[in-house]
Amino acid sequence: MAISIYDLLVPPVSKMLTNLDNVLKKAEADCETRKIDPSVLVSARLAPDMFPLVRQVQIMTDQAKGGASRLAGLEPPKWPDEEKTFADLHARLAKAIAYLNTFKPAQFDGAETRKIELKFPNASFSFVGKDYLLTNLLPNFYFHYTTAYAILRHNGVQVGKGDYLGR
């Protein structure tokens, strides 16, 4: 039996979004314990030229909803990037998970050869679905998840590999 695009995308990405939500809950509790203003962690970054935690979560959820939509042959929904608090980030993650849960495996039939176009102000990229998933979507998703996790860990939140992968 072959592994489908759905199997490679929807369940693992949903799981990782859930894992990050749990990591953010630990970060909130850590702020309370250490008497840190939560906005400090929400706006924290690993380096001055990197995006802060809030933007990492926004991009990660954009990758999830956009990738699933494109691979299913749908136009991705547009969500404003207005999150400023942990509560906002939890809501965004829940929205992304709920959106992914609307997809059915049959929507991804033929996705491995579906033409995917990504257009940006200064560049555009063309892929077939399998290559988009494996060389663009998943690497970007995991990059931003790892960076969000690393921002929190770097700032002293007591999380580990089990939190990252989910128990």
Q: Kindly state the average pLDDT of the residues 64-86.
A: 97
| CATH number of the domain to which 119 belongs | 1.20.120.450
Q: Kindly state the average pLDDT of the residues 3-10.
A: 96
Least confident piece of the model among 32-41, 101-110, 118-127: 118-127
pLDDT of residue 120: 87
143, pLDDT greater than 80: yes
Q: Which domain holds residue 27?
A: 5-165
Cα atoms in the 13 Å half-sphere on the side-chain side of 82: 4
What does the alpha-carbon distance between residue 51 and residue 32 come to, in Å, rounded to a whole number?
A: 24
What is the CA angle 82-23-58, rounded to 5? 25
Q: Kindly state the average pLDDT of the residues 72-85.
A: 97
CA distances from 16 to 21, 63, 93, 118, 132 (A): 8, 12, 10, 24, 19
pLDDT of residue 1: 63
Task: Give the mean pLDDT of the chain.
Answer: 96
Q: Kindly state the average pLDDT of the residues 78-105.
A: 98
Find the helix or strand (DSSP H, E) in which 40 lies.
helix 38-42
Comparing 150 with 119, the larger pLDDT belongs to: 150
Q: Kindly state the average pLDDT of the residues 78-84.
A: 97
Q: How many domains does the chain have?
A: 1
Give one word for 5, left, alpha or beta, with left for phi > 0 and alpha for psi -120 to 50: alpha
What does the alpha-carbon distance between residue 63 and residue 90 come to, in Å, rounded to a whole number?
A: 16
pLDDT of residue 92: 98
pLDDT digit string (tens) for 18-58? Answer: 999 999 999 999 999 999 999 999 999 999 999 999 999 99
